[in-house]
């Protein structure tokens, strides 16, 4: 599979790299890293990384302007379904490669390199780079680490295997960069965001079955002076609360006239609930976009049922 991908990359003079809407560090870093790897190894090719940028991640790296292409290869990273690919029209491309770590949703019609056990799309790309022995540089190595460390929430999950640490170690040794600077780029945030975190902690409702949920309305977003994307991304900071097994933020996004629902779990699998509401994601980290807070509350009701079943099962198993 790795050889086949490399052969396909070699075949095309123009390559566009895309990823999912609602950019996050793994999506952004995987496309930037892959773009620069191809540019470094094949300087004669035209390679661009496209998608809607975000002010929050602008300092991580610059995306390219989307332009009309002819006989081009499309590589999509970190995205399992066509409807969530940002900015590109599939019909413009001669061939498509998908590189992803989400559970399979649909085929894009070309090569599909998917490892749904991987921590991140960046990890999948790192393995591809090790196998193909393509030349890298410290910036590429830093991007890949950044995406991986962000999606694994700093190695908190079971995807952090000995093999993953060996892979990271290989990149750090071969193409070193400053870890402290990398973490600053990822985690430095304005005081307003920390204050909003305080709001979430104070206002999170917790059910007897361990479901924590909070709505972040536009009034709250304005009061704290943050944007709705930053507010929605705070979900990852609420892991390891003893009384909470599944937690949800419901963030109003007036610009897109929708509610962004983000769901995380330390126990029950929750992606099927997100899928019921036309969302999706991983077993323990999923999301959906719904039109109203009332619709978002239906997700809360469904998750409560999932927790009740989960706890019954745990009792039966003697846990």
CA–CA dist 149, 163 (Å, integer):
15
- Which of 280, 299, 303, 307: binder of ligand AMP (CB under 6 A)? 280
- Find the part of the chain contacting ligand AMP (CB under 6 A) among 107-115, 239-247, 250-258, 275-283: 275-283
CA–CA dist 12, 45 (Å, integer):
8
The alpha carbon torsion through 240, 245, 246, 249 (nearest 10 deg) reads -40
Number of residues that bind ligand AMP (CB under 6 A): 15
- Which of 114, 289, 300, 306: binder of ligand AMP (CB under 6 A)? 289
- Which of 32, 288, 299, 300: binder of ligand AMP (CB under 6 A)? 288
The tokens describing 150, both together, are 């962000």
Q: Does 262 bind ligand AMP (CB under 6 A)?
A: yes
Q: Does 20 bind ligand AMP (CB under 6 A)?
A: yes
With vertex at residue 215, the alpha carbon angle to CA 209 and CA 219, rounded to the nearest 5 degrees, is 160
Q: Does 285 bind ligand AMP (CB under 6 A)?
A: yes
The tokens describing 24, both together, are 């996050």
String of contacts with ligand AMP for each residue 204-223, x by CB under 6 A? --------------------
- Which of 121, 286, 296, 303: binder of ligand AMP (CB under 6 A)? 286
Report 123-182 residues binding ligand AMP (CB under 6 A).
none
3-class secondary-structure state, position 68: coil
Q: Does 19 bind ligand AMP (CB under 6 A)?
A: no
Q: Does 101 bind ligand AMP (CB under 6 A)?
A: no
What string of DSSP letters covers 160-226? --HHHHHHHHHHHHHS---HHHHHHHHH---HHHHHHHHHHHHH-EE-TTSEEEEEE-HHHHHHHT-
Q: Does 230 bind ligand AMP (CB under 6 A)?
A: no
Best CA proximity match to 233, nearest among 34, 11, 36, 57: 57
Sites of contact with ligand AMP (CB under 6 A): 20, 22, 84, 102, 235, 262, 279-282, 285-289
């Amino acid at each position: 599979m790795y050889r086949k991908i490399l052969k396909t990359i070699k075949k095309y003079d123009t390559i566009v790299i895309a990823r999912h809407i609602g950019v996050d560090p793994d999506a952004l870093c995987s496309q930037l890293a892959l773009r620069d790897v191809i540019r470094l190894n094949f300087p004669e090719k035209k390679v661009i990384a496209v998608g809607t940028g975000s002010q929050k991640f602008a300092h991580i790296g610059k995306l390219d302007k989307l332009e009309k292409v002819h006989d081009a290869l499309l590589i999509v990273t970190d995205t399992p379904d066509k409807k969530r690919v940002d900015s590109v029209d599939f019909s413009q491309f001669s061939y498509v490669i998908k590189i992803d770590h989400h559970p399979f949703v649909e085929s894009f019609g070309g090569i599909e390199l998917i490892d749904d056990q991987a921590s991140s799309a960046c990890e999948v790309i790192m393995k591809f780079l090790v196998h193909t022995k393509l030349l890298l540089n410290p910036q590429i190595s830093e991007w890949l680490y950044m995406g991986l460390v962000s999606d694994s929430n700093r190695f908190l999950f079971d995807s952090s295997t000995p093999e993953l640490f060996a892979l990271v170690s290989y990149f750090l040794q071969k193409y070193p960069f400053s870890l402290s600077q990398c973490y600053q780029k990822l985690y430095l945030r304005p005081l307003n965001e920390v204050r909003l975190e305080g709001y979430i902690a104070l206002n999170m409702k917790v059910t007897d079955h361990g479901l924590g949920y909070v709505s972040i309305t536009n009034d709250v977003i304005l009061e704290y002076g943050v944007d709705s994307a930053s507010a929605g991304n705070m979900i990852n900071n609420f892991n390891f609360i003893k009384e909470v097994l599944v937690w949800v933020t419901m963030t109003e996004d007036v610009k897109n006239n929708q509610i962004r629902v983000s769901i995380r779990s330390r126990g029950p699998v929750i992606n099927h609930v997100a899928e019921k509401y036309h969302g999706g994601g991983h077993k323990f980290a999923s999301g959906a976009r719904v039109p109203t807070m009332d619709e978002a509350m239906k997700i809360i009701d469904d998750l409560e049922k999932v927790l009740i079943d989960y706890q019954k099962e745990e009792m039966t198993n003697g846990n």
